Amino acid sequence: MTPLDYVVLFGTILGIAAYGTWRTRDRRDLHAHLKGAGSTRWFTIGLSVMATQASAITFLSTPGQGFESGIGFVQNYFGAPFALMLICIFFLPIFRRLNVYTAYEYLGRRFDAKTRLLGAALFLFQRGIGAGITIYAPAIVLSTVMGWPLDLTIICSGLVVIVYTVVGGSDAVSLTQRYQIGVIFAGMLAAFFVMLARLPAGLTLTDALTVAGGFHKLEAVDFSLDFSKRYTFWSGMFGGMFLALSYFGTDQTQVQRYLHGSSLRESRLGLMFNAVFKIPMQFFILVLGALIFVFYQFQPQPVFFNQTVWNREVQAAGGPGLRGLEQEFNAVHAEKQQAIGHWLAARHGGDATAEAAAKAEARAAYDRSEAVRARTKAALTAANPAVATKDSDYVFITFILNYLPHGVIGLLVAVFFAATMSSKAGELNALSSTTLVDVYRHVVRRDETDHHYVVASRWFTVMWGVIAIAFALLVKMSENLIEFGNIVGSIFYGVPLGLFLIAFFLKRIGGTAAFWAAVLTQVLVIAAYFGDIGVSYLWLNPLGCAACVVLALVLQAVLRDDTRPAPAAEA
């Protein structure tokens, strides 16, 4: 990175944070601090919801996924539009009519205080861990590649977010997210067009897509009913809808964003904006990855994309072996380049037979090159078992640093920081609101002034920010941390969704039955995970939700729980 890149990076990131802080400096009453000034339009809500969900690791990892496995991951988002419509129809009108600050406040009105506290506690625990991961995961990639100190990267990005979230509250989060997502889109589009411009002369976009398709990188939709496949149309529709319903419907990080709207209409349109644009956005990022794959077919490609680790290991004892594998890879890569050249020449010449033969040759060379990459990773692990061999997260950042012009590099690094800060701000804001509304104001100090609660909310934001930074500084789990975050989410998402489904649809179930069903189910889900019952952790989410509903029905029949919804919630 040159001084120009640093000017673009710091100018963008600090400029947005300073603007958000200045514009929202007068938010002094509790309602404005937690829900904003009540003037937020649907477009800002839509961008805010999108920015909260898309963290930096989305923009670092997703192109790498497109590079490595193709664009089939887009199917994971197929259920999201339907989940968002269900939230618009069932969840949102109730949340808005009851004028709640948090989703768990509704549980208190529908059931009782203990169920509300349980819902809030489950959220605080899992999102508290999530906030640490949000800041840590991109920091480890950026610090490894840039050579920046990891701890300093974590502390700096964390502190900036704390400042503007503390000062401006929810409005500052929404306002800054609007500009941060603008920077993200601008940066990703710049990367796309610069990459197209740097493709070899004579290679059209159609040629590039043909090459990507020839290597199975564009297999977007798979209608097969093969349950062993991770991403199919059906798993995306059902699994994806379940996950999106849990996340958008019961997770305060999202609920707070759309409750911020000036009216029900604005909140609904903000969610519908995401229902329409989520799939094309993910498609674009994945296609960018697939095209980076094509780009590297015409350029020298590293055998291992985490070049910092690679350079360190080749200097160590296993160096000669690794160098040998690198030379082998380069030779196979050259064969592949030649075969692709013949393939495209035959295609342009209209010779279908020669095209098919060259394409088969290129694919065979690709298989050989992937085999060499697999052996390289095995050799790295043998040389140093501590090395993380999953290098797809480093594909996009390596491409950016090696091939984009200065200035654009700074903009792209700003993209990763903007994404970190936008999702982190949403998390801090939600953690602080839930701690204040569902715990502090509900249990600890009930009848204080607005000013007291605003000050308390600011301190809770600082507290969660410091916890997130401390978590990110203390854990050293590399990319396993991302999977760890998904596991925590799977363990703790199912029960809250079960509680909300009971609250909305099973009128006869009272608070005591719902509470104990949720507690028992959560214990069972944790036991199922640690007891290793042979079920993938991804299934814990739907299983937890279903078990919570069934147990509540059973307990209601046994206990004959007569705890009824509060009149306000039933009216």
Partner 1 sequence: MKPVDKPDTESETTGLPWPHSWRGVYLFVTGVFVLWVGLLTLFMKLFA
Give dist(CA 195, CA 198) in Å, integer.
Answer: 5
Show the tokens assigned to 158. 């964390």
Q: How far is the CB of 296 from partner 1 (least distance, A)?
A: 18
Q: How far is the CB of 272 from partner 1 (least distance, A)?
A: 6
Q: Which is nearer to partner 1, 69 or 134 (CB)?
A: 69
Q: How far is the CB of 23 from partner 1 (least distance, A)?
A: 26
Contact 502, 107 (CB under 8 A): no
Q: How far is the CB of 280 from partner 1 (least distance, A)?
A: 7
Q: Is 407 exposed, middle or buried (0-12, 13-18, 19+ CB in 10 A)?
A: middle
Show the tokens assigned to 377. 């990773």
Q: Which is nearer to partner 1, 265 or 406 (CB)?
A: 265
Contact 467, 459 (CB under 8 A): no
Q: How far is the CB of 568 from partner 1 (least distance, A)?
A: 9
Q: How far is the CB of 269 from partner 1 (least distance, A)?
A: 8
Give dist(CA 492, CA 218) in Å, integer.
Answer: 34
Which residues in this chain contact partner 1 in the complex, by CB under 8 A? 74, 78, 81-82, 84-85, 88-90, 93-94, 97, 110, 209-210, 212-214, 218-221, 233, 264-265, 268-269, 272, 275-276, 279-280, 283, 503-507, 565, 569-571
Query: How many CB atoms are located within 10 Å of the residue 228 CB?
Result: 6
Helix (H) or strand (E) holding 562: none
Q: How far is the CB of 566 from partner 1 (least distance, A)?
A: 10
Q: Which is nearer to partner 1, 85 or 387 (CB)?
A: 85
Q: How far is the CB of 132 from partner 1 (least distance, A)?
A: 34
Give dist(CA 461, CA 172) in Å, integer.
Answer: 13
Q: How far is the CB of 141 from partner 1 (least distance, A)?
A: 29
Q: Which is nearer to partner 1, 187 or 214 (CB)?
A: 214
- Gyration radius from the chain CA atoms: 25
Contact 514, 554 (CB under 8 A): no
- Three-class SS state of 200: coil
Residues 6+ apart with CB under 8 A from 253: 52, 127, 423, 426, 427, 429, 430
**535 Ramachandran zone, left/alpha/beta (phi>0; psi -120 to 50):** beta
Q: Which is nearer to partner 1, 221 or 554 (CB)?
A: 221
Give dist(CA 436, CA 398) in Å, integer.
Answer: 43
Q: Where are the alpha helices (DSSP H) in 350-441?
A: 352-383, 395-403, 408-434
Give dist(CA 186, CA 183) in Å, integer.
Answer: 5
Beta bridge partners of 40: 261
Q: Which is nearer to partner 1, 70 or 410 (CB)?
A: 70
Q: How far is the CB of 299 from partner 1 (least distance, A)?
A: 21
Q: Which is nearer to partner 1, 264 or 519 (CB)?
A: 264
Q: Which is nearer to partner 1, 89 or 559 (CB)?
A: 89
Q: 540-559 and 233-250 helices cross at what angle (nearest 10)? A: 60
Q: Which is nearer to partner 1, 378 or 568 (CB)?
A: 568
Q: Which is nearer to partner 1, 233 or 484 (CB)?
A: 233
Q: Which is nearer to partner 1, 34 or 290 (CB)?
A: 290
Q: Where are the alpha helices (DSSP H) in 252-351?
A: 252-259, 264-297, 307-314, 319-349
Helix (H) or strand (E) holding 38: none
Contact 89, 267 (CB under 8 A): no
Q: How far is the CB of 90 from partner 1 (least distance, A)?
A: 5
